[in-house]
A = this chain, B = another copy of it.
Amino acid sequence: MSTDERATLHDVARTAGVSLATVDRVLHGRGGVRTRTIERVQSVVERLGYRPDPAAARLARKNQSRLVFVLPSGTNTFVDMLDRQVRSMAPWLAEQRATAVVQRADVFSPQALSGHLAGLHGRFDAVIVMGLDHPLVRAAIDGLVADGVVVMTLVSDVPGSQRSRFVGIENVTAGRTAASLLGRFVGPRPGSVGIVMGSRGLRDHAERLFGFEQVMGAEYGTLQLLSPIEGHDRSERTEPLTAQLLERHPELVGLYSIGAGNRGIQAALERSGRAAKIVWICHELTPHARQALLTGVADAVINQDAGHEVRSSCRLALAALSGERVLPEQERIRIDIFLRDNMP
């Protein structure tokens, strides 16, 4: 067939007429090499199509890569799922000469989060943070990046920042998907549609809302959209708010829950006795959402796979740290739709 033999570091060193160590230096930008030598080595690397062997690199590496996941504090089931996924990566990470820890920070406070991030300097090689889109947080991220730390955002992005990657779904699209499903499930019935979200300040929530309103307005104009209720992602708040909504709107035919606090919404729906008549769509396939789908209280769940997100974050962080290649297709987080029948 073709030239099967992969070029090794050795080959590069030999044809460039330098030593292994020098090639290693230019490959890792460690400095202390004459510009001319750098160029020579780089051209040889190019010409030979050299790619480092990740297995060999990992085997030889002395110090571990330290990853940290910064997640919201509080009692959010989905966040707990992320947390658990991170912990379950430990054996795999150990094989990759890496460790990961989870830290919790108050995501509803830009001050708290940015302060927390600032305290991470020098203690980690990569930080994966569930973002809060605010200038302070952006600055904290940029500070870490300037320090050579690999920073990635998870679930909710911080677009203006220097983070190397966002791991999560396209939330506008997710909102559009929710609207399509809700509109089609409601069918020709007239009525109104309620929306419950955590806060307009959370970027992922705002984006979902945007997409949802887009499609509802354009394609299901006969349904009246009520103005969104903010429940701060907590069931203690969403439950009474939803109950109130149901009471005030006997014509309600659909409900879109953008964020967390679904246990409260579910409880309110069930107590109203109208669960069967109202199409309810929510996010994240937590054990409760699963139950709600099975009993028919929820009609569809839009999901982002917590396991996939965590694995992807780890792979991408390690790849960024070691210069390995990634399979982009494998790292795209899909917008899953779950109905009662296709739950995993």
Chain A contacts to B: CB under 8 angstroms: 4, 6, 51, 53-56, 58-59, 91-92, 94-95, 173-174, 176-177, 179-181, 184-185, 187-188, 211, 215, 307-308, 311, 325, 327, 329-330, 332, 334-337, 339-342, 344
**Closest chain B residue to A186 by CB distance?**
B187
Query: CA separation between A187 and B186, bound complex, in Å?
Result: 8
CB within 8 Å for A311 and B334 given contacts A176-B341, A215-B341: no
Q: A56-B59, A180-B341 are in contact. List 20 more A-B contacts (CB 8 A).
A: A6-B94, A55-B55, A55-B59, A55-B95, A59-B59, A91-B325, A173-B341, A176-B342, A177-B339, A177-B341, A180-B340, A211-B341, A307-B329, A311-B327, A311-B330, A332-B344, A334-B336, A334-B344, A335-B342, A336-B336
Docked complex Cα distance between A273 and B339 (Å): 30
**Closest Cβ–Cβ distance, residue A142 to chain B (whole Å):** 30
Q: Is the CB of A53 within 8 A of B174?
A: no
Closest to A299 in B: B184
Contacts of A311 in B (CB 8 A): 327, 330
Cα distance, A95 to B319, chains bound together (Å) = 15
CB distance from A96 to the nearest CB of B (A): 8
Which residues of the other chain, B, contact A184 by a CB distance below 8 angstroms? 184-185
Report how far A59 CA is from B6 CA in the complex, Å: 13
Residue from the set A59, A307, A311, A332 with the largest chain B CB neighbour count within 10 Å: A59
Most buried by B among A6, A173, A334, A336: A334
Q: Which one of A55, A59, A179, A344 has the greatest number of beta carbons of chain B within 10 Å?
A: A55
Measured between C-beta atoms, what is the minimum distance from A176 to chain B in Å?
4
- Tell me the smallest distance from the CB of A262 to a CB of chain B, in Å: 20
With contact pairs A185-B184, A332-B344 given, residues A92 and B327 touching in the complex (Cβ less than 8 Å): yes
Distance in angstroms between the alpha carbons of A260 and B325 in the assembled complex: 35
Q: Chain B nearest CB: distance from A58 CB in Å?
A: 5
**Interchain Cβ contacts under 8 Å between A and B, 5 examples:** A54-B95, A180-B341, A184-B185, A187-B187, A187-B188
Contacts of A188 in B (CB 8 A): 187-188
Query: CA of A344 to CA of B95 in the docked complex: distance in angstroms?
Result: 32
Query: In the bound complex, how far is the Cα of B337 from the Cα of A211, in angstroms?
Result: 19
Inter-chain CA distance A184–B340, complex, in Å, is 12
| Minimal beta-carbon separation of A193 from chain B (angstroms) | 16
Q: Which residues of B contact A179 (CB under 8 A)?
A: 341
A282 to chain B, nearest CB (A): 16
Name the residue on B nearest A188 (C-beta).
B187
User: By the criterion CB–CB under 8 Å, are B336 and A339 in contact?
Assistant: no
Contacts A53-B95, A95-B55 known; A174 to B307 CB distance under 8 Å? no
